């Protein structure tokens, strides 16, 4: 099954971000896949396809993580791979604790043979997978004017999630929640 580990965003954060970005889809300036409000999350580790046995091992290892609850806040809007060549639009989630949790997950999973990511972790919430930008200059002006307020949120758990790809988009189902102390 296709799986990943994530932090679920609280409703007030998802609503603020989603409704601001909804405006980008108007007028055909950006064509692409806008992430559904209920699917907005921060991926800590993408595992890809793993079998039931490996899922059990992952659950056991993730259960060994002993971190305390923490808070974070939304930050700036960013682009992958760059501002000049936009394929993904995202917003960052600011907190040193997010990075610590992600590192702890990486370290635990290497113990059961899951390779660490080659790329450095960037704490981000994907908002849009861009297929086409009609006018890059107008797009960047519109992004500057979105006026997303910083949103604080408390993180008291992380999730192991199953992702099923469908024609209508991905369908996420929580396999297991891991509470922070």
Active-site residues: which are they?
A: 41, 124
What DSSP designation does 145 have?
Answer: T
Tokens of 68: 């305390």
In this structure, are residues 134 and 106 in contact, taking their beta carbons and an 8 Å threshold? Answer: no
Tokens of 137: 């200059």
Rounded CA gap, 63 and 29, in Å? Answer: 44
Does 38 sit behind a cis peptide bond, omega within 30 degrees of 0 on the bond before it? no
């Amino acid at each position: 099954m296709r799986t990943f580990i994530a932090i679920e965003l609280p409703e007030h954060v998802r609503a603020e971000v989603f409704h601001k970005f909804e405006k980008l889809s108007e007028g055909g300036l950006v064509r692409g896949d806008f992430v559904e409000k209920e699917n907005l999350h921060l991926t800590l580790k993408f595992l890809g396809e793993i079998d039931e046995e490996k899922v059990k091992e992952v659950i056991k290892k993730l259960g060994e993580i002993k971190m305390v609850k923490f808070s974070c806040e939304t930050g700036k809007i960013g682009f992958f791979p760059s501002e000049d060549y936009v394929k993904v639009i995202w917003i960052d989630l600011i907190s040193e604790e997010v990075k610590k949790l992600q590192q702890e997950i990486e370290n635990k999973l290497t113990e059961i043979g899951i390779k660490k990511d080659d790329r450095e972790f960037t704490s981000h919430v994907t908002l849009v997978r861009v297929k086409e930008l009609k006018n890059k200059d107008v797009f960047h002006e519109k992004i500057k004017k979105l006026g997303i307020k910083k949103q604080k949120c408390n993180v008291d758990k992380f999730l192991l999630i199953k992702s099923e790809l469908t024609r209508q988009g991905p369908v996420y189902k929580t396999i297991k929640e891991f509470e922070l102390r």
